[in-house]
Chains A and B, each alone.
Chain A
Amino acid sequence: MSDFLKIQGLQARIDADGTPKDILKGLDLEVPKGEIHAIMGPNGSGKSTLSYVLAGRDDYEVTGGSATFKGQDLLALDPEERAALGLFLAFQSPVELPGVNNANFLRTAVNAVRRARGEAELDAVAFLKAVRAETKHLSMSDDMLKRAVNVGFSGGEKKRNEVLQMRLLQPSFAILDETDSGLDIDALRIVAEGVNSLRSPNFSALVITHHQRLLDYIVPDRVHVMAHGRIIHSGGPDIAKTLEKQGYTQFLEAAA
């Protein structure tokens, strides 16, 4: 299927203290099945908004354009329906859920998604086995399963917990919103490995980042430059290196 993720002319705004503020201003993007794409762009270009709009956060108002995923109108679906369809967003700032046991949260999520996908739910034993295998893979301590979701987690632990969720939920399309921010080099390697090991002809990802560094570990098929709520340039992985050296100026000028 060529139309795996297809975004056309997407416009979205947010209510900023009573005044609507346009953030996405006619964004076009296609990510075919099996490919990993990166989005880079200066602060305020709308990268995180794009990830939230795709995942279904409802304080953004979509004012134009379309987004389809696996042929379905993504924007018409609830966040949980998008998750069941195979979409996953790794949060830039993972949310803390006080008192909610991490293992319980993971199992509830996994089984909700499995139920929606028509798969059998995992019982406690099967789930524990699955989760233990993943935590080992991600060098996470079992202690993190017993704690409340993200509460008291270090920045690196939170990001690893995101990757853990991603691996357990087995998405076909993952959005990683600045997953590399706040990670030391070892954690970065582990997180990148977590993404790379999902690589398959059936898995795509959109990696949003500020830094070339992450793309040394997760080598994208294509890189898109985003500014002012639009994709202003697309190309091969080399673009990232150019950006790292020369900044966004040349692309911004070219687009102006």
Chain B
Amino acid sequence: MPAVTETRETVEKLAKSSYEWGFETDIEMDIAPKGLNEDTVRLISQRKGEPQWMLDWRLKAFRAWLEMEEPTWAHIHYPPIDYQDAHYFAQPKKKPGPKSLEEVDPELLRTYAKLGIPLHEQALLAGVEGAEERLPIAVDAVFDSVSVATTFRKTLAEAGVIFCPISDAIREHPELVQKYLGTVVPVADNFFGALNSAVFTDGSFVYIPEGVRCPMELSTYFRINARNTGQFERTLIIAEDRATVSYLEGCTAPQRDENQLHAAVVELIAMEDASIKYSTVQNWYPGDDEGRGGIYNFVTKRGICRGARSKISWTQVETGSAITWKYPSCVLAGEGSVGEFYSVAVTNNHQQADTGTKMIHLAPNTRSTIIAKTISAGKSDSTYRGLVRMQPKARNARNFTQCDSLLIGDQCGAHTVPYIESRNMTARVEHEATTSKISEDELFYCRSRGLSEEDAVGLIVNGFCREVLKELPMEFAVEAQKLLQISLEGSVG
């Protein structure tokens, strides 16, 4: 049997082992009835104790959404989503703050344990008083739709950094939220973005004041935890002049029978000489080996480099979800600003991914780099879709794009769809693309050195993704390699 066939079968076998983090936490929930109408939007706004302007904003988005059509241009296929057949609000019932871990709902702790969250961090997440010791990462855990705990607010507050659930920010920092929310992704930007704007229930808010280098990596663990609860996260990150921040987003989800809709919106704003690094490791439940279940992940992520010499860098490792529809983008409005997109997308079984980026060069001397690595296995289908646009004022702007696809087996597909629009003669755009398979030669060479086939595939895949993985913060690099293992096979690295 040729080695590649064997590899495929090994991959398939491993994929059959049940999703490691597929479990469901049984915590009393406060759930809104199914369905989506203006009353749902009002209910959400009321439950979150929002001011009138926020409700008005949501309603504007909702009315826009009603007029919009679900996009069909992506290379993905799924049965029609019944937006009325889902809950749009679920909140764990509030209990008084526990004094120690013993008092924390054991179900919650078990969830954290399965996610591999260290014990001291669990205490923080569970809101145990006095648990705020020195930790390298601040975690704003989004446990279902509501942040169960926000940590390090004090430490960060001393640096002038605001890091809190966006619902808190709406109440406590209305002037900032009103000033920036929807300025990068307007309410009527796109179908899923508008839906998110109408019904988002939580997310993170980050504000880094002028000249401040955020003293720690900011991190969010996302969990989708209630049956049929659409998860609509809203994240807003603002870095003022010369501010620097690195934000980590990591996600796991419990196993489900029915598809779950996830439509997040992330907005980044970088002012003069500011720098935002946004890293994602996503491993939501991809569905079973027949493609049943799994998360529908329709995400709008966009950043704007408003100030001169500002920089926004997206790094993502996407291994999960049944469907991924995601294009983290950069609008380069400040002269000499820099946009980066580093991506690894892995699909297996019946997973579908249509992902990429948009680099919109508005100002002179702007630069962008796109490195996209796509790995397809099983019967999955993966598309890189990217747009590089050089506007008339983008004098001497430069882009470099590299898209590499790696195929495992002969039943998967990889597609590259680059759009390049240049309206400035001095702008330079480079695009390189390759498609390859893991060759028999590579596998045999590794195995003849004693590596198992799984280790060999892991090593080769890891090598293939190296340019992207090295962009991840240390905290995430290990997790990302773990995910590549789980998604494909064998030990990586």
1/0 contact string of A79-121 vs chain B (CB within 8 Å): 1101110001101001101111100110011101100100000
Tell yes or no: A58 within 8 A of B by CB. Answer: yes
Contacts of A165 in B (CB 8 A): 449
- Inter-chain CA distance A105–B450, complex, in Å, is 11
* CB atoms of A97 and B460 under 8 A apart: yes
Contact segment of B92-100, B182-190, B437-445: B437-445
- Given that A97-B445, A148-B463 are known contacts, is A109 also in contact with B450, CB under 8 Å in the complex? yes
Query: Given A95-B445, A97-B445, A99-B466, are A58 and B1 neighbors across the interface (CB < 8 Å)?
Result: yes
B84 at interface (Cβ–Cβ under 8 A)?
Answer: no
A18 to B308, CA, bound (A): 62
Compute how far the CA of A83 lies from the CA of B450 in the bound complex, rounded to whole angstroms.
5
A99 touches B1 (CB 8 A): no
The answer to whether B445 touches A108 (Cβ under 8 A) is: no
Task: Give chain B nearest CB distance to A101 CB in angstroms.
Answer: 8
Find chain A residues with CB under 8 A from B446 CB.
97, 105, 109
- How many residues on the A side are at the interface (Cβ–Cβ under 8 A)? 32
User: What is the distance, in angstroms, from A146's C-beta to the closest C-beta of chain B?
Assistant: 12
Whole-angstrom CA separation of A55 from B443 in the bound complex: 13
Q: Does B71 contact A (CB under 8 A)?
A: no
Contact A83 B449, beta carbon cutoff 8 Å: yes
Contact of B463 among A88, A94, A100, A113 (CB under 8 A): A100
Q: Tell me the minimal C-beta distance from B274 to chain A in angstroms.
A: 32
CA A249 – CA B475 in complex, angstroms?
66
How many angstroms between the C-alpha atoms of A82 and B459 in the bound complex? 20
Q: Is the CB of B464 within 8 A of A80?
A: no
In whole angstroms, how far apart are the Cα atoms of A161 and B154 in the complex?
54
A99 and B451 contact, CB distance less than 8 A: no
Q: With A57-B444, A94-B445 in contact, do A100 and B460 touch (Cβ < 8 Å)?
A: yes
Q: Are A78 and B462 in contact (CB under 8 A)?
A: no
Residues on the B chain within 8 Å of A56, using CB = 444, 447-448
Chain A window 46-84, contacts with chain B (Cβ cutoff 8 Å), 1 for yes, 0 for no: 000000000111110000000000000000001110111
Verify if A169 is at the interface (C-beta below 8 Å from B): yes
B445 with A80: CB separation less than 8 A: no
Interfacial chain A residues near B2, Cβ < 8 Å: 58-59
Q: What CA separation (Å) do A100 and B455 show in the bound complex?
A: 12
Whether the Cβ atoms of B455 and A99 lie closer than 8 Å is: no
**Residues in A whose Cβ lies below 8 Å from that of B465:** 99
Q: How far is the CB of B3 from chain A (nearest CB, A)?
A: 6
Residues of A within 8 A of B453 (CB): 78, 80
With an 8 Å Cβ cutoff, the count of chain B residues facing the other chain is 27
Which chain B residue shows the least CB distance to A95? B445
Q: Judge whether B449 and A169 touch: CB under 8 Å.
A: yes
Which residues of chain B come closer than 8 Å to A88, judged between CB atoms? 448
Residues 1-41 of B contacting A (Cβ, < 8 Å): 1-3
Please give, as numbers and ranges, the residues of chain B lying within 8 Å of A78 by CB-CB distance.
Answer: 447, 453
The docked-state distance in angstroms from the alpha carbon of A206 to that of B428 is 55
Interface members, chain A 28-42 (any B CB < 8 Å): none
Identify which of B442, B448, B463 contacts A79 (C-beta below 8 A). Answer: B448
Q: Who on chain A is nearest to B466 by CB? A: A99
Given the complex of chains A and B, what is the CA–CA distance between A101 and B460 in angstroms? 10
Question: Is the CB–CB distance between A104 and B493 below 8 Å?
Answer: yes
The answer on a CB contact under 8 Å between A97 and B447 is no
Which of A56, A105, A113, A165 is the most central at the interface, judged by chain B CB atoms within 10 Å of its CB? A105
Nearest to B470 among chain A residues (CB) is: A99
How far, in whole Å, are A116 and B449 apart by their CA atoms in the complex? Answer: 12
Smallest distance from the beta carbon of B468 to chain A beta carbons, Å?
Answer: 10
Q: Are the CB atoms of A91 and B450 closer together than 8 Å?
A: no
Are B447 and A95 in contact (CB-based, < 8 A)? Answer: no
Contact of B121 with A by CB under 8 A = no
* Cβ–Cβ < 8 Å partners of B452 in chain A: 80, 112
Q: Which of B3, B442, B444, B451 contacts A112 (CB 8 A)?
A: B451
The residues of A that contact B449 with a CB separation of less than 8 Å are 83, 105, 109, 112-113, 165, 169
B289 on the A face (CB < 8 A): no
Complex CA–CA separation, A111 to B465 (angstroms): 23
Q: Enumerate chain A residues within 8 angstroms of B3, measured Cβ to Cβ.
A: 58
CA distance A79 to B452 in the complex (A): 9
Evaluate contact between A112 and B440: CB separation under 8 angstroms: no
A residues apposed to B, CB below 8 Å: 55-59, 78-80, 82-84, 88-89, 91, 94-95, 97-101, 104-105, 108-110, 112-113, 116, 148, 165, 169
**24 A-B pairs, CB-CB below 8 angstroms?**
A55-B448, A57-B444, A79-B444, A79-B447, A80-B453, A82-B448, A94-B445, A95-B441, A95-B442, A97-B442, A97-B459, A98-B463, A99-B464, A99-B467, A100-B460, A100-B462, A104-B459, A105-B446, A105-B459, A108-B455, A112-B451, A112-B452, A113-B449, A169-B449
